[in-house]
Amino acid sequence: MEKIILVGHGSPKKDANNMDVVGRMLHEKLHPGCSKECVFTAYLQFQSPTLEDALESAVINGTKKIIIHPYFLSAGMHVTKDIPEVIDGFKKTSPDIEFVYTEPLGVSQRLVELVVERMDEAAGFAPQEIEDKSFEILSKDADLSTFDAGLHPIVKRVIHATADFSFLNTLTFHPDALEAGLRAVRAGKNVVSDVEMVRAGINSRTLNSWGGRAICKVGEVSPKEGKTRSEIAMEEAIDENTGIVVIGNAPTALQRVIELINEGRIKPDLVVGVPVGFVRAVESKAELASQEFPYITNAGRRGGTPVAVAIVNAILKIAGQADKKG
């Protein structure tokens, strides 16, 4: 499989060096559910790893093709001189590897749309106002009549996160799903996720206020023969205080969770299984939808981190609103 390297400039301001976040998002987009190291990130100044470090890591990983993308808006000296010089050095020492150097971000209609979005945000709409307006629009366009009223906030948040109304036809809820999720949250139980991007998206402040934590161990384990990192991470992370298991990317993790539950080895209150992709995603979700324990899933290939996070955060918000009313 090819390796990809994103190269950014780097900044003395530590929190401005967010290439690793972009790298994880790209990896998830290109290789949903993949637990291998396919995307590397690098910086030219102020921050590590350097481009040389990233190229060395990619070479060591035994790839035959490395794609380098300069994460810059225009083709300045870094893009036209500095980065190509480093690549040329590796071409000489690794002649069997194909190096592909892409154009920078450049001029794109999608960037123009992003600028317009940022202008709209700065025109007087606070983040909460934007969210409220979005929910108002989708509520007019979405026919929620096939769902119980209590599930409407979850369905709306999924559509809001994806801008995809097809989830109206594919989301599937066990009859006890919502109550099971609320019970877990209120009991201060933890939420275990299959990938770090899902864990990071969960509203930890709200979850922590009930006493629970968002947990992901995929970065702490190594793959073993016959098992993916996601499967092993599930086995190691789920314990007696696990209330919700949420899977947005790895079908193998979802299938392993189903096995562990049916074997009586774990007993979470709710399983949210919405892995995305072309390999085993459809089958794993269909298997989940046939279970007797509480679950939330969707049919088809769509899913992923935004859907998984939206479902969990909706449950957290419902729990908080119910507590205030109580």
Active site residues: 160
Q: How far is CA 16 from CA 10, 22, 39, 41, 117, in A?
A: 8, 12, 19, 14, 21
CA atoms within 13 A on the CB side of 23: 23
Beta carbons within 10 angstroms of residue 271's beta carbon: 25
271 by DSSP, 3-state: which?
strand
Helix (H) or strand (E) holding 101: strand 98-101
Q: Contact 75/39 with Cβ under 8 angstroms?
A: no
What distance in Å separates the CA atoms of residue 153 and residue 183, rounded to the nearest whole number?
17
* C-alpha separations of 89 from 55, 75, 83, 86, 151 in Å: 10, 20, 10, 5, 57
Rounded to whole angstroms, how far apart are CA atoms 157 and 162?
9
Distance CA 191, CA 194 (A): 10
Which of 48, 1, 6 is CA-nearest to residue 24?
Answer: 6
CA distances from 139 to 52, 147, 163, 275, 278 (A): 50, 13, 12, 26, 30
What's the length of the chain? 326
Contacts of 161 (CB under 8 A, 6+ apart): 306, 307, 309, 310
